[in-house]
C-alpha cells in the first residue's frame, strides 16, 4: 500500500494498515504528523493556552491572588509551542521506526496512475494507494482583499501564524482594515 502524505490521516493510516499486515510505503514532505502537529492544532492551541493563562493572571487580583509584574513574553510562548511541536515530531519518528513493514521516505512524490507513484526518478507500485496530502490556505475572492494584503502585509494565513516571530499588533490591524 502506498500512502502519500503523513499527516493526521496518512500517519495513523500507515500504522493501521501495517497492523493489518500490509506492507506500506509512506511518503511525506513536511513534518511526520502533518499540519495538525507542525502548523495547526498543536502550536495554535499552545498559543491559546498561553493567552488564557495571561488573561487569568491579569484577573487574578479580583480573586485575591496578587501577582507582580505580569508580562507576556511572546518569544517564550513561541519557544513553548516550538518545543511541543518538536517533541511531537520526534515521538512520531520513534513510533514509525518501530513498524518494520512501513518503508518511510522523507520526500514528496506524485501519482503516475492509481497504483504507481514517482519519487525522484524512482517509480513505486502498490496494490492500493491513499492520497492524504492535506489542504492549503487560499485567499477567498473577496473584492478589495488583495489591496489589504498588499498594503498591510499583516494578513496571516494559518501556515504563517506558526512562523510568527513577533506579537502581531491586532488593534492596529483591525483599525487599518476599518479605515481602508
Ligand X SMILES: Cc1cc2nc3c(=O)[nH]c(=O)nc-3n(C[C@H](O)[C@H](O)[C@H](O)COP(=O)(O)OP(=O)(O)OC[C@H]3O[C@@H](n4cnc5c(N)ncnc54)[C@H](O)[C@@H]3O)c2cc1C
Q: Which residues bind ligand X (CB under 6 A)?
A: 4-10, 27-30, 34-36, 39-41, 44-45, 108-110, 132-134, 158
Output 27 or 102, the one with its CB closest to ligand X: 27
Output 29 or 87, the one with its CB closest to ligand X: 29
φ and ψ at residue 60, rounded to 5 degrees: -55, -35
Q: How far is the CB of 180 from ligand X (least distance, A)?
A: 25
Q: CA 38 → CA 6, 10, 74, 107, 176, distances in Å?
A: 12, 15, 18, 17, 30
* 148 contacts 180 by C-beta, under 8 angstroms: yes
Output 55 or 110, the one with its CB closest to ligand X: 110
Q: How far is the CB of 49 from ligand X (least distance, A)?
A: 12
Q: How far is the CB of 32 from ligand X (least distance, A)?
A: 8
Q: Which residues pair with 2 in a beta bridge?
A: 25, 129
Q: Which residues pair with 27 in a beta bridge?
A: 4, 105
C-alpha cell at 118: 514517482
Output 57 or 93, the one with its CB closest to ligand X: 93
Output 76 or 163, the one with its CB closest to ligand X: 163
Q: How far is the CB of 76 from ligand X (least distance, A)?
A: 20
Q: How far is the CB of 54 from ligand X (least distance, A)?
A: 19
Round to whole Å and give the CA distance between 44 and 64: 30
* 46 contacts 86 by C-beta, under 8 angstroms: no
Amino acid at each position: 500500500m502506498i500512502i502519500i502524505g503523513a499527516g493526521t490521516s496518512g500517519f495513523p493510516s500507515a500504522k493501521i494498515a501495517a497492523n493489518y499486515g500490509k506492507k506500506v510505503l509512506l511518503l511525506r514532505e513536511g513534518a511526520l504528523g502533518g499540519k495538525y502537529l507542525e502548523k495547526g492544532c498543536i502550536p495554535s492551541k499552545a498559543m491559546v493556552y498561553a493567552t488564557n493563562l495571561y488573561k487569568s493572571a491579569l484577573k487574578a487580583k479580583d480573586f485575591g491572588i496578587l501577582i507582580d509584574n505580569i508580562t507576556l513574553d511572546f518569544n517564550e510562548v513561541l519557544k513553548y509551542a516550538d518545543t511541543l511541536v518538536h517533541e511531537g515530531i520526534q515521538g512520531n519518528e520513534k513510533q514509525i521506526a518501530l513498524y518494520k513493514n512501513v518503508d518511510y521516505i522523507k520526500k514528496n512524490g506524485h501519482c503516475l496512475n492509481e497504483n504507481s507513484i514517482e519519487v525522484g526518478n524512482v517509480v513505486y507500485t502498490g496494490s492500493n494507494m491513499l492520497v492524504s496530502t492535506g489542504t492549503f490556505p487560499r485567499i477567498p475572492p473577496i473584492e478589495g482583499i488583495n489591496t489589504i494584503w498588499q498594503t498591510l502585509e499583516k494578513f496571516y494565513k494559518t501556515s504563517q501564524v506558526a512562523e510568527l516571530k513577533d506579537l502581531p499588533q491586532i488593534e492596529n490591524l483591525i483599525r487599518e482594515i476599518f479605515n481602508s
